[in-house]
Structure 1
Amino acid sequence: FPFGFAPPAGHVDDKGGFEEAAREEVQEEVGLSPINIKLVTEGRKDNRCRRKGGDYHYWKIYKVEAEGKLKPSEDETKQAGLYTKDQIKNLSERTARYLDGEISEEDWQNSPGIETVWYEWFKELEII
């Protein structure tokens, strides 16, 4: 919830600010140590959240260079991996078909693409 593949992300809460939250989420979710971080875009996106009244988020998207061995969090991560641009493109094409109603909810749950909010960001950033 929301369902699909996504880069590490999370709420700022008590993490001291957006950049610190980004660093901590990379460490917490996939076990990598950020060594270089750069803000690439920001803005509001309507997307659901588990929190009460959570129907949008204000995002700051960072490009992160990290080191270490991939070690996914058992609590926060269902599946982690390093994906090529072609793999991201294929997952994004699946998301587009889901959004167009060509893929049922059941099929999506069994084999998702990129989370819909990340699909929007990847298009804006011209990653896909």
Structure 2
Amino acid sequence: MAALKTLYSPKGLVHFSVGAIIKKGDRILLIDRAVPPLGFACPAGHVEHKENFEDALLREVKEEIGMQVFGYKLLFEETLYGNDCNKGAHNHHWIVFECEVRGDERKNREVKTIGYYSKEEISKLKLEPSWNIILKKLKIIN
């Protein structure tokens, strides 16, 4: 496993993570994760130690759904405390972008399904905990 971009805060270890909000009309692409953290989520992952946020974004989208990002804008940046991961951190500093992508969706071993969902459908799904918070903060769900 590559070293992860981290910092230490009074509240403990913080990992940096990026996420991609990908839209098709009024629907948002979500994956159903096959590995923890389980639940529906936007494509996302940890930033590696010597990686910048944009490179991590492009890598994670390609790894998780097989698509290429060709445009993006920052939507959200915030540290979520009490946001555990299986790599040892209890906190994550999230940087989330809205992305334009091209190519065909292709899932990897970490992904059960890929689909586009309306806001109403998303509000009924079992979301991965981070994305439940992020999508509420972005007012995508209530």
What's the TM-score once normalised by structure 2's chain length? 0.69
- Among 40, 53, 59, the alignment partner of 1:5 is 40
- Percent of pairs identical after alignment? 38
Partner residue, 1:30 = 65
- The one-letter amino acid paired with 1:60 is I
Partner residue, 2:121 = 87
Cα distance per residue 1:18-70 (max 9 Å; x no partner): 11101110111001111111111101113111113x11111101101111111
Mapped to 1, the partners of 2:50 and 2:57 lie a distance apart of: 9
Point out 4+ residue stretches in structure 1 off by more than 3 angstroms.
none
Partner residue, 1:110 = none
Count the aligned residue pairs. 105
Name whichever structure is richer in helix by fraction.
1
Distance 1:5 1:64, change over 3 A: same
Name whichever structure is richer in strand by fraction.
2
State the superposition RMSD in angstroms.
Answer: 1.4
- The one-letter amino acid paired with 1:21 is A
- Among 65, 77, 85, the alignment partner of 1:49 is 85
Cα distance per residue 1:79-117 (max 9 Å; x no partner): 2222222221222xxxxxxxxxxxxxxxxxxxxx11121
- The one-letter amino acid paired with 1:116 is P
**What secondary structure does 1:72 align onto?**
coil
What's the TM-score once normalised by structure 1's chain length? 0.76
Say which structure, 1 or 2, has more relative contact order (CA 8 Å, 6+ apart).
2
- The one-letter amino acid paired with 1:124 is K
**What secondary structure does 1:13 align onto?**
coil
**What secondary structure does 2:111 align onto?**
coil
Say if 1:32 and 1:67, in contact at 8 Å, map to a contact too.
yes
Runs of 5+ in structure 2 lacking a partner? Answer: 1-35
**What secondary structure does 2:55 align onto?**
helix
Partner residue, 2:7 = none
**What secondary structure does 2:123 align onto?**
helix
